[in-house]
Structure 1
């Protein structure tokens, strides 16, 4: 077994989820990630935890969703019961065929997301970690050789997370005192939002591995302006690119995409909360230096900002502000490397990807 797999497993168990003796742990992964699951299970046994493994397989998901009557979807109570009894949830992504879900109707996906929402909400209340195994299908989607993609993944997940936390803490300090944030990029993105009273989280490789961002929630009705998301997202086996969104008083009032706009139709029609922003995130992981069609990595890239329509993380929302709730949470990315700036209360804190506390600002 590649020693980097064991290192990855140790980071998940000891840093990301802090597994303790007696913990009930659920590990979800496709078969292609069996080496990482094996390494995790060994560590769980050493620590006196108990483990249930489940097979997360997009081929199975496709078969189920295409055969089902979406009007009859109900929350799967047996999975909810499993998550309710768990202390730790570990979800490993790895693709053998990244386009497996491409022929599932977006409306069916939206209906399933609505039914699944109580399970997702329960999962977020646990110690959880979402990570990536460098499978060949994921490498192909990223346009990399297998070896190149393995290096890419392991370099990103094996950072010195204490050092990364210290870097990001400087941006957290700026954001925690902020009232208003403005994002400007080129001629097509100029959006403002209030973050007053909300909390900024320093993502240091715990819930997401790799980590490498700071994120908060906008005040729900405060977002105004237009955004051109110039980096594509890969969702439901489809590339959605050239997305333009207009916000008025927090709500998405107009949108378009140059490719696969129907995927956005399904997202925004899922529920009322899907038309509001739940997250503003600022990428700060410089080890992720290329786009890979994988939001777990792409949203963490330095020189990027991402905004997620849909649910907000409750820990980012202050007591006096409303938590946006939705069955969706869809991140989209703005490239901030050129002709761009982030303003906090009228002061420029990032220009063309360089932060005010970095050399070259």
Structure 2
């Protein structure tokens, strides 16, 4: 029926992440039939908790067709007649992404993606689900996922459950010294190969993430003062809207991307031209999961890589705002840059070097 690890993961999600109580409603959404074993474990666990699960199982090929052929009227009706009223009744949301092909929607046009984002994702997920439910999203392992990670399937599954079932209470405690430092910080600077960028975070809110919204988890995020971002930054490989990028380089002045280079400049320019906020930054974060070592073209894992940071193009989060509004939110990841807080080097490459922060290095968390 399902693996024991799926039962353990389901219990962690519904008890620890969603903090569900008897009688509450939870939407369990599976995109890709590959993750049905975890869905079964979630349904059984929900009923054991006397929670009411609302089930959505989406075929990825049908989803691709809808995105490619959908327009503003179609997605507006989908949101208003069905998904938005239902989401407003939910206390929690669990989204399992189990696609076998991360490039499934790569042929969707810019116009089609904008219609989907503006009329469906924004009202249903960015505005309602993110702000008004205890939500958690995660991927599910597959041979295709293992291939992106360049690992044998069975070894990847072992890695997946180890990363997802991390002791998040221990990680939460280890984050506290860094959070304290960041709340007193004005300027942050990243310096490394192809990267020399700085920005202010003075007075900004910082959010420690330890298994409440993402699985796997392990990050500490805020947002930069919009106009303060200045310099250049080089990111590792990424996939966004089904479109692959081997690398992305951005040149930034007064908080706005003024020049760029990548392995796919035509698609990058389309993304940057989505709206004015797409050329500005809505999030900055430290990746802190000690199990995740390298990119695998899945942002829920890649943004948690230890010794990494992501400086995110697009929309901010209401919980840590900076005023940027956009229909994109692209967590681009920079790995191994030295990090300076108000001129003091706190991380050299991927390892923290100050005594109070060494607790965050992998050898002290595993």
Instruction: Quickly name the TM-score band, shorter chain normalised.
Output: over 0.9
Say if 2:350 is the partner of 1:346.
no
Task: Please show how residues 1-361 of structure 1 align to structure 2 within 5 Å.
Answer: 1-29=2-30, 30-69=32-71, 74=76, 76-77=79-80, 78-116=82-120, 117-120=122-125, 121-125=127-131, 126-186=133-193, 188-229=194-235, 231-258=236-263, 260-317=264-321, 322-336=322-336, 340-355=337-352, 356=354, 357-358=357-358
Contact 2:69 2:112 in 1 (8 A): no
> Cα 1:275–1:72, aligned 2, differ >3 Å: closer, same or farther?
farther
> Cα 1:85–1:358, aligned 2, differ >3 Å: closer, same or farther?
same
What CA distance in whole angstroms lies between the structure 1 residues aligned with 2:273 and 2:283? 19
Contact 2:175 2:208 in 1 (8 A): yes
**Deviation at residue 70 of structure 1 after TM alignment:** 5.6
What CA distance in whole angstroms lies between the structure 2 residues aligned with 1:7 and 1:68? 38
Give ranges in structure 2 of 5+ residues lacking alignment.
362-366
Contact 1:111 1:270 in 2 (8 A): no
> Cα 1:307–1:58, aligned 2, differ >3 Å: closer, same or farther?
farther
- Once the two structures are overlaid, the 10-residue window that deviates more, 92-101 or 260-269, is 260-269
Contact 1:228 1:242 in 2 (8 A): yes
**Deviation at residue 72 of structure 1 after TM alignment:** 6.9
Contact 1:110 1:266 in 2 (8 A): no
TM-score by length of 1: 0.92
What CA distance in whole angstroms lies between the structure 2 residues aligned with 1:266 and 1:74? 23
Residue in structure 1 matched with residue 364 of structure 2 by the alignment: none
What CA distance in whole angstroms lies between the structure 2 residues aligned with 1:167 and 1:261? 39
Give ranges in structure 1 of 5+ residues lacking alignment.
none
Q: Deviations over 1:196-234 (max 9, x none)?
A: 1111111101101111111111111211111111x1101
SS at match of 2:225: coil
- Once the two structures are overlaid, the 10-residue window that deviates more, 86-95 or 75-84, is 75-84
**Deviation at residue 69 of structure 1 after TM alignment:** 4.0
- Once the two structures are overlaid, the 10-residue window that deviates more, 36-45 or 102-111, is 102-111
Contact 2:25 2:53 in 1 (8 A): yes
> Cα 1:267–1:348, aligned 2, differ >3 Å: closer, same or farther?
same
What CA distance in whole angstroms lies between the structure 2 residues aligned with 1:134 and 1:162? 24
SS at match of 1:285: coil
> Cα 1:73–1:33, aligned 2, differ >3 Å: closer, same or farther?
closer
What CA distance in whole angstroms lies between the structure 1 residues aligned with 2:290 and 2:100? 27
What CA distance in whole angstroms lies between the structure 2 residues aligned with 1:189 and 1:57? 40
What CA distance in whole angstroms lies between the structure 1 residues aligned with 2:360 and 2:155? 30
Contact 2:72 2:119 in 1 (8 A): no
> Cα 1:71–1:81, aligned 2, differ >3 Å: closer, same or farther?
closer
What CA distance in whole angstroms lies between the structure 2 residues aligned with 1:236 and 1:58? 14
**Deviation at residue 7 of structure 1 after TM alignment:** 0.6
**Deviation at residue 136 of structure 1 after TM alignment:** 2.6
What CA distance in whole angstroms lies between the structure 1 residues aligned with 2:115 and 2:102? 21
